[in-house]
Amino acid sequence: MTTLEKLTILADSAKYDVSCSSSGSNRSATYNGIGNASAPGICHSFADDGRCISLLKILFTNACMYDCGYCINRNSNDSIKRVSFTPDELVDLVIQFYRRNYIEGLFLSSGVLRSPDYTMEQLIQVVKTLRVRENFNGYIHLKGIPGADAKLIREAGLYVDRMSLNIELPTSQSLRLLAPEKDRAQIIEPMKLIREEMASYRVDAKKFKKAKLFVPAGQTTQLIVGATPEPDYMILRISEAFYQKMKLKRVYYSSYVPVGRVEGVVPYGIHSLQREHRIYQADWLLRFYGFKASELLNEEAPDLDLVLDPKAQWALRNLHLFPIDVNRADLMTLLRVPGIGTVSARRILAARRLAYLDFDGLKRIGVVLKRAQYFITCKGKMLARVDENPMFLRQLLADGNTQLNLFDLYPKQFGGGHERLSI
Ligand code: SF4
């Protein structure tokens, strides 16, 4: 089989993995080397379905010995051709693509070939050859293979910018059901190891100018949403724990894509892509807006409303905290106002050092009031006074001005019986 045929098959097999993004690494070009990775990340572009396509995103092999029910490459799926690269083939491909300016980096994942250790050794050979023999300084994101020996994970971390081990499913029970060969500990332990190695290499980097780097762009993971029944609340709590305890850079969420019929898999929720979008928004609130998972959802209302963004949902449940005075509120309070993002909040703080802000002043500095107007005051006045009925406000805040049926679609958060909404 030609390299082009392998490329076609293995790039296609890799497209379901969403945990790639290149931000955060900073390596300059070296003398006699090629490529560099800059702090803002290499250029990204995204396919229509939102997946990152800026890197050469490829599997080393799709001839996987495991049988994960959510994966197109599972060994019981007879509908795909099985192929593998050799390490040299893959290195050559990356260099040729780089020289032609097709790519600026590599996202390398793999099915499990022969054993986790053997697969990890092959992947290490690829990244080591790129770095050492080819002097390749471009961005490399490598997927760690669960179950591989700790010393292989350690070695791989010396050659790549970012590593990820996919947690895949929220609970051990779901993992046992859909990925029986995988064990949660095989995923969590390497994550801990990477976290600890990163911390210790960072200490060295402060002391020694030429200290080696270990996974300098951090680690990420991926969770599949909708293959198993875990609610959004559980997913957000898991992500929160990963951010706090494992110091992950990102948790990526991948809406379950049914690939053939699999025993034990019942796709949960017919709105998977919209659900994935809402979970990403909530994840953003955890990382940049100071929210906790328990503020956004709870056991009684465990799923995000598909019609409203999570911040608006929170605001409607906490109307007693509003309106806030934009001339007095601190940064974290401003960030909780629907429609005010990090840029607007910082502009407000900067502008009000110079003058007392009114609504015209807010518009002049670029604050969009369409949603915020219901939650703020300027000089003691509100721009729009609304009925305090949260359902009426919900209608005003709904994405795309969706016309809601207030009775049929009354969400659980407000005492209704529907767990998910149709739009
Ligand atoms: S280990 Fe599981 S998720 Fe990974 S390629 Fe194999 S079947 Fe797919």
According to the model, what pLDDT value does residue 41 have? 35
According to the model, what pLDDT value does residue 117 have? 97
Q: How many A from CA of 92 to the centre of ligand 1? A: 25
pLDDT digits (tens, 9 = 90+) for 255-267: 887 776 666 565 5
Q: Closest by alpha carbon to 214, among 153, 269, 166, 274?
A: 153
State CA 60 to chain mean position distance. 22
How many residues does this entry show for the chain? 423
Q: What are phi and psi of 141, to 5 degrees?
A: -115, 120
Pocket probe mutation, ligand 1, options 19, 68, 176, 182, max atoms within 8 Å of Cβ? 68
Pocket probe mutation, ligand 1, options 66, 67, 145, 183, max atoms within 8 Å of Cβ? 66
Residue with CA closest to ligand 1 atom 5: 111
Within a 13 Å sphere around the CA of 219, how many CA atoms are in the beta-carbon half? 32
Domain locations along the chain = 3-194, 310-414
**Residue numbers in the chain where pLDDT is lower than 70:** 15-29, 35-53, 260-271, 385-388, 399-423
Residue with CA closest to ligand 1 atom 7: 74
Question: 27: which 2 tokens?
Answer: 């390596």
Q: How many A from CA of 179 to the centre of ligand 1? A: 8
Pocket probe mutation, ligand 1, options 112, 186, 257, max atoms within 8 Å of Cβ? 112
Pure H helices in 100-180: 116-128, 150-157, 172-178
Class of domain 3-194: alpha beta
According to the model, what pLDDT value does residue 42 have? 41
Q: Closest by alpha carbon to 175, among 238, 118, 241, 107?
A: 238
The residue type found at 358 is D
Residue with CA closest to ligand 1 atom 2: 68
Pocket probe mutation, ligand 1, options 60, 64, 223, max atoms within 8 Å of Cβ? 64
Q: Closest by alpha carbon to 55, among 98, 87, 99, 26?
A: 98
Q: How many A from CA of 220 to the centre of ligand 1? A: 17
- Index of the ligand 1 atom closest to the CA of residue 166: 3
Neighbour-count burial for 228-255, b at 16+ CB within 10 Å, e otherwise: bebbbbbbbbbbbebbeebebbbbbbbb
Q: How many A from CA of 137 to the centre of ligand 1? A: 29
Residue with CA closest to ligand 1 atom 4: 111
Neighbour-count burial for 357-376, b at 16+ CB within 10 Å, e otherwise: bebebbeeeebebebbbbbb
The residue type found at 130 is L
**Three-class SS state of 46:** strand
- Index of the ligand 1 atom closest to the CA of residue 64: 6
Do 359 and 281 form a contact (C-beta atoms < 8 A)?
no
Which residues' Cβ are closer than 6 Å to ligand 1? 64, 66, 68, 71, 73-74, 111-112, 179
According to the model, what pLDDT value does residue 421 have? 29
Q: How many A from CA of 64 to the centre of ligand 1? A: 6
According to the model, what pLDDT value does residue 43 have? 45
According to the model, what pLDDT value does residue 10 have? 84
Q: Closest by alpha carbon to 272, among 236, 307, 225?
A: 225
The partner residues of 347 in beta bridges, in order of sequence, read: none
